[in-house]
């Protein structure tokens, strides 16, 4: 069966420090991968998605970047964190089929607090 892992689970970082959040998927190949942010009391905002190694699409201009160095690994990064980067970050994956969207499967999330 497929599983998705995120780490760390929680993170407290000072303003201006770098960030690296990691997401890995097991039990599937060639997935679509997604990064979402969920601010307190808000819905989900799609940040990045990837349909293959090295292929990253950004949905919202921001202080963050994403990379996909391996088929089942998705990394969210920042060179200098801002207070507004605080939130709950969720990674998700979906099967890549020929047409139509497919259900997304979510990881447990990372709670990031920037002080």
Task: List interacting residues with another protein (CB under 8 A).
Answer: 32, 42-44, 46, 49, 51, 57, 59, 88, 90, 92, 94, 96-109, 111
CB of 13 to another protein, least distance (A): 18
Nearer to another protein (CB atom), residue 18 or residue 88: 88
Nearer to another protein (CB atom), residue 78 or residue 110: 110
Give the chain's largest Cα–Cα span. 44
| Residue 63 DSSP class | S
Structure tokens at 68: 């996909």
> Partners of 20 in the beta sheet?
77
């Amino acid at each position: 069966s497929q599983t998705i892992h995120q780490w760390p689970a929680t993170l407290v970082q000072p303003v201006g420090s770098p960030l690296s959040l990691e997401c890995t998927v097991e039990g599937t190949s060639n997935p679509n991968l997604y990064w979402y942010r969920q601010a307190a009391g808000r819905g989900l905002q799609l940040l990045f998605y990837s349909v293959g190694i090295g292929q990253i699409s950004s949905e919202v201009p921001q202080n963050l970047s994403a990379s996909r160095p391996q088929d089942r690994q998705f990394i969210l990064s920042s060179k200098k964190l801002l207070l507004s980067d605080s939130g709950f970050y969720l990674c998700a994956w979906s099967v890549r089929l020929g047409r139509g969207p497919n259900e997304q499967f979510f990881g447990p999330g990372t709670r990031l607090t920037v002080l």
